[in-house]
Amino acid sequence: MRRPMIALLLLLAAGCTAGPPAVPPTPAARHAGLVALTDTSAGRVVDHLAFRERREVEEAATLRFGAGGMPRTPPPPAVPAAGAVMDPAMDLLLIHAQRLSALSLGGVAAGDAEATAALARVESAIGALRGTPGPWPAEAARQRAAGAFRALAAPAPQGSDAAGFAAGRQGAVAEATGFLQALVGRDARGGLRAVLAERHRGWRGAQEAVLAAARNDRNLSPQDRMALWNRTQARLAADAPDVAAAELAQVFAAMPAAHRAAGAGDEAGVEAFATSVARLRAIEAQAR
């Protein structure tokens, strides 16, 4: 995640300073602040999903053993593999948004060294997806995404203005964010969401195996079985699978239109993206 300028951009996104509410000088500056918020929230959502995946796999193994079975060989964790792609990918999208903001303010589009470093990381992480089983985007989609990230990392052409710079890279933004959406999963049957759904089914199955074993255990009293039943049902009912990942995918889906609006100076279009970012931040806050 990018650190330089993020504090300033977060203030622009929040529209607040120590004094009266600040008005971002351009829609592109507001957009850059919203991308910075997305970057931060996406990282926290990935951390939450990684914790959840690890917990469900470990608990499923423990419960299966407790129910008298042998735990399955744990699968390679999927969230770290997907997160390794999303982290530098968001860095590149943020660098691009900061460049667009700078041009809209009459400044210089910088960040070339940071972009080069982020590009190397995202290309390596996309290649490493081959080592983690999952319904990831196909190889052709990965290659197109790598090309899009290379386009975003390239320095802004000499003499660029904000509108021309945004228009020239709109296709790359759409390709890159479309890939990220597919990586997370456009629905619960694809990408990381499908892997996490499978982990969750295994976890639920292990809970049910414990209940089945308890039902036939003569060492347990009816009160013991009822207590175990109530605890298990409470855990299953309190769980809300897929919510955070689904919201993350929706934010990625909203980014191309927001980028187009930022380049065109369309304040209303950028504010529509702010609604998506606010939903992600609310989900991220609940998941902490």
CA angle 21–283–183, rounded 5-degree value? 115
Cα→Cα distances 70→64, 114, 201, 207, Å: 6, 48, 17, 14
CA distances from 116 to 57, 99, 173 (A): 36, 14, 17
Helix (H) or strand (E) holding 64: helix 27-66
- The domain of 274 spans 6-287
Contact 278, 286 (CB under 8 A): no
Task: Kindly give, in sequence order, each residue whose CB lies less than 8 Å from that of residue 233, ignoring residues fewer than 6 positions away.
Answer: none
Three-class DSSP category at 65: helix
Does 88 fall in a domain? yes
CA 251 from chain centre, in angstroms, equals 8
Give the closest residue to 151 by CA, choosing from 137, 130, 165: 165
How confident is the prediction along the chain (288 residues), in pLDDT tens digits per residue? 554 454 445 444 544 444 455 555 899 999 999 999 999 999 999 999 999 899 888 888 888 887 777 777 788 899 999 999 999 999 999 999 999 999 999 999 999 999 999 999 999 999 999 999 999 999 999 999 999 999 999 999 999 999 999 999 999 999 999 999 999 999 999 999 999 999 888 888 888 888 888 787 778 888 877 887 888 777 777 666 678 999 999 999 999 999 999 999 999 999 999 999 999 999 887 765
The domain tally of the chain equals 1
In a domain, residue 1? The reply is: no
Within-domain flag for 268: yes
Instruction: Tell me which DSSP letter residue 74 carries.
Output: P
Amino acid at 134: G
Rg (CA), the chain: 22
Look up the pTM and report it: 0.85
The DSSP annotation for 219-244 comes to TS-HHHHHHHHHHHHHHHHH--TTHH
Residue 98 lies in a domain: yes
